[in-house]
Structure 1
Amino acid sequence: MSIGNSPEPEDVGSSSELPSEEDDRASVGRSLQQARINAGLTVDEVSSTTRVRVPIVHAIEQDDFTRCGGRVYARGHIRTLARAVGVDPAPLVAQYDAEHGGRPSPTPAAPIFEAERIRPEPRRPNWTAAMVAAIVAVVGFVGFTLFNGGAQSGSVSADPASSKPSAAPSAKSGSGKGKADPKAEPKADPKAEASASAIAGVPANKVTVKLTAENGQTWMSAKDHNGKLIEEGVLKRGASKTFTDSKRIDLVLGNAGAVQLFVNGKEVKNLGDDGQVQRLSYTRGDPSAG
């Protein structure tokens, strides 16, 4: 027996073989299941209360969190189920984070950037408005042309015999006495030429009568060959009326001396005196008083 050295105690065992507190702690799923049973609730009742589907509740109680759709949803389901069965969710969530890699890091926010300034596009010409303006201009021009053409045709259709020829300038001799040359050829009467052209211009198969209140106003009446009244009333001074019929026109003039009359393009003179009433009738061809 040796003195001074006490025998070394036998090695009881390494610390790793001792049971740890974590090994004795129940898992998250077992804790939720035991709390549900203690609360007297079924899985269907917990599912109805939390709106978590029955298969997911069963999977969580078996510590299968793959059906939750991710760690964020799993942590949310743990909180919801813990509140439903009456336990504190914080320790269970912390235990889940410790067993599954910790709390998920938040997703970094997108960097703030200054929006690119949108440059206004250059204004394009409005071709629709231009086309509309061009169409309006063309329509206006055509209407103006037709209106002027109608007015000019109306003035051309007037009897040229009504115009009075201007006096020809008198010939002057070298001595300044103003005597006409006896050898000069006589000029044709312009009124006769106008009457001849007017006769040629009117339709030969109709009777055409034109009244002009040249020297004053007059009352007038015009009827066709059937005796039907064409027009009657007061013809003011300077105004004109033209009547046409296929066979005959009967006239009544209340102031014959004030009227200038053309029948079939030929002027009829000496209708009567001022204030005299005349009843006249004309047919086709050379006019003659009825």
Structure 2
Amino acid sequence: MSSQTRMAGFVPVDSVFSENGASYVQYSAGDRLREARAKAGLTLDSASARTRIRRDYLEALETMDTRGLPARAYALGYLRTYAGFLGIEPVGIVDQFKREVDTETGRAVPSAGAKTRDPIKLPRGVFGALLILVSVASVAWWYSEQAPSFGAIANLPSPPDAAPEWARADFQPELRAADIGSIWTGVPLGDAAAGERLTLRATAPTSLEVQDASGRILYSRSLVVGDIYQTREDGLTFSASDAGAIQLERGGVDLGTLGLAGIPVENIAVASAEPAAGELE
């Protein structure tokens, strides 16, 4: 047999000829599955048991009834498994199955182009009318914003005479001389009625702290030579790191020092300091 004769008579390995010599090439993918199963002597039930694919799925594959098949990806997976089990080349029958199913369902036939919507056509002159309306609205808005500034109902400022005195631009507060004497009204001054004032003067570096009768600190500072503390209040107590460095005066009279030189004192009254000052004289 020549090579040309062999090529002319060549058919795929999975093709089986019927009695009249027609090959499966003319059969659908479902027919090929059914014929292969019949040649193997299997029923749908036995094929389902051996492939573990539901019987109704196998039947749907053989009848190419897509309504009885699961989703497309799962159906093609079952088809590959079933074809391999029956000795049919899976890739070829899957392609044939997809092609025939798509043609039957209309997916493989180019459908008419989707009808495009006609663009909405507005009557002639609508754009011009819209532009005019927008312009009029803009002018009206601008006029409503500007009208109060020059209209008859504008918010005019109040006349100068209507404003309170303190709000006028030319208002000048009245400057009154402070009454110094009124500052001491109601303050217990003791000897202040006689005009006497107690003066503490530092004659050497020292520290001085002054407290009132309630214990509140009125004065606390480190003094240098020449520093002065004056008061008219009675009942004060004094503390100093060097009592001899504090010179006392009242009403121009020298009362001596707060204490002995180099000796610290704490919370002593002026009355108790005067005898100590007398001892130094």
Query: Which TM-score tier does this pair reach, normalised by the shorter chain?
Result: 0.3 to 0.5
TM-score normalized by the length of structure 1: 0.35
Which has a greater percent of helix?
Answer: 2
TM-score normalized by the length of structure 2: 0.36
Report which structure shows greater RCO (CA 8 Å, sep ≥6).
Answer: 1
